Structure 1
Amino acid sequence: MKHEPLLTCRGLEAGYGASQVLFGLDFDVGAGEVVALLGRNGMGKSTTIKTLVGGLRAKKGEIHFGGTPIHGARADAIARLGVAIVPEGRQCFPNLTVREHLVAFADTRNGRRDGWTLDRLYALFPRLKERAGHTGNQLSGGEQQMLAIARALSTNPRLLVLDEATEGLAPVIRDEIWHCLARLKADGQTTLVVDKYVEKLVQLADRHLILERGRIAWSGTSVELDADRELWSRYLGV
């Protein structure tokens, strides 16, 4: 099925000081699509994410979101357009309660009438309702990850970006996160996800982009990636 582009990157180059990490990335993320960004450590995945959400300024190239140019825009301006990130390491506030996290960042401007209310977030993650009065530093790693996802959803984003959302979690919690992401896909949530669990991603994502030394080495559908396991060993070490 053809997806109308929501996020478009053309000739994207980025890096840190004199060190260049990304070399001319071209890709789209369509509305309602789930796209996985894959690659070994150090290949440029996190740099790509940082550049998209305004944490790092692109050296060259263009990024458009919903038709609006966002290359060079500040992170807060990009967030207000409807981009929400679940950052690597969760970054929950230690002194805010679960409920305060979800209320403080709530934004209905980008949402639909059936958008993410507090009740809907608690229904998605019942454990957060049980821990509503607990502060961020009182939560387990899995609970913090649920909170980071719920906090991003509370902004009713047009694009949800997940950077290593299942990293370091127990298998049972990882499965709960994957189940959550499948529900979001069924709801039509546009998502860009970075994760190392390729077996899960081929079940979830519509398309995949494999980065190799800051360039897109391969792109294709889940069916194509699942059928070519040699790609897994060549580029992903799986």
Structure 2
Amino acid sequence: MNAPLLCCRGLEAGYGTSRVLFGLDFDIRAGEVVALLGRNGMGKSTTIRTIVGGLRPQRGEIVFEGRPIHAERADAIARLGVAIVPEGRQCFPNLTVHEHLVAFAARRNGVAEPWTPARLYALFPRLAERADHLGNQLSGGEQQMLAIARALSTNPRLLILDEATEGLAPVIREEIWRCLALLKAQGQTTLVVDKYVERLMALADRNLILERGRITWQGSSAELDARRELWGRYLGV
């Protein structure tokens, strides 16, 4: 079996003297969609921040494509091919939609069909209609589409979404799920956090459940569907 695209071993992290993650061990293989599940405050966003270089781990290692990255800066990790759609979207208020899609564009990884503005507009037609609008002139749903498109414009090896559909209207959530299903069909490796467990199970190949900074369970979506007692115990569903 091929080596994992991302490998986390003994990962511990926190803020100041407060420890949040306690020895996480997990892998993500190329082409997989992995869901990171758990109640609020269990360490999901801290895990993501640590992977992308926003937080330096206190112990353990993170290896991406065979290269240790836990001591790298966030910009270096991004250039290696890790892209994040952050919680809260963080679109730039003074850049237009189109400027978002060209300012961060990078043709990495030798992809046969790189994500260009034209392809991104085809993925999200609403953005094409808003191409000249500034980031602060968009609705929340449009900003989420833009945040995903911006991440894809870097042609990442690993796409990470923190709270993929939080605060979005149902029709917009469906648009985001449609997009993620299409990306999976195209082989995009993805790590995703979201509270809609049913929708995540339909998308994810594997699921990791975090409880107080530890992985308490991991398995396939079929296995998670068969273990509904875990939903109430760890997910509040």
Q: State the TM bucket, normalised to the shorter chain.
A: over 0.9
Q: Distance in 2 between matches of 1:35 and 1:49?
A: 12
Deviations 1:151-177 (A, max 9, x none): 000000000000001000000000000
User: 2:13 touches 2:20 (CA, 8 Å); kept in 1?
Assistant: yes
Aligned mates of 1:172, 1:3 — CA distance in 2 = 38
- Could you tell me which amino acid in structure 1 is paired with residue 90 of structure 2? Q
Other-structure match for 2:68: 69
> Are the equivalent residues in 2 in contact too, given 1:8–1:63 (CA < 8 A)?
yes
Q: Aligned residue for 1:32?
A: 31
Q: Name the aligned partner's letter for residue 68 of structure 2.
A: P
Contact 1:111 1:157 in 2 (8 A): no
1:115-135: per-residue Cα shift (whole Å, max 9, x none)? 101110000000000100000
Tell me what 2:190 maps to: 191
- Mapped partners of 1:231, 1:111: distance in 2: 41
Unmatched runs of 5 consecutive residues or more in structure 1: none
Structure 2: runs of 5 or more not aligned: none
Identity level (%): 81
The alignment's TM-score, normalised by the length of structure 1, stands at 0.98
CA deviation after TM superposition for structure 1 residue 113, in Å: 2.3
**Higher mean C-alpha deviation, range 75-84 or range 105-114:** 105-114
Shift of 1:3: 6.5
Deviation at 1:28, TM superposition (A): 0.1
**Secondary structure in 1 aligned to 2:70?**
coil
**CA distance, structure 1, for counterparts of residue 109 and residue 38 of structure 2:** 31
1:162, 1:193 within 8 Å by CA — same for their partners in 2? yes
Distance change in 2, residues 1:70/1:196 (3 Å): same
Decide whether the 8 Å contact of 2:9 with 2:60 is kept in 1. Answer: yes
Q: Which residue of 1 aligns with 2:236?
A: 237
* Structure 1 contact 111–156 (Cα < 8 Å) conserved: no
Residue matched to 1:152: 151
Q: Say whether the 8 Å CA contact 2:108–2:156 is kept in structure 1.
A: no
For residues 53-202 of structure 1, what are the structure 2 equivalents within 5 Å?
53-202=52-201
Amino acid aligned to 1:16: Y
Superposition deviation, residue 72 in structure 1: 1.3
TM-score calculated relative to the size of structure 2? 0.99
Deviation at residue 86 of structure 1 after TM alignment: 0.1
CA RMSD of aligned residues (A): 0.8
Count residues in correspondence.
237
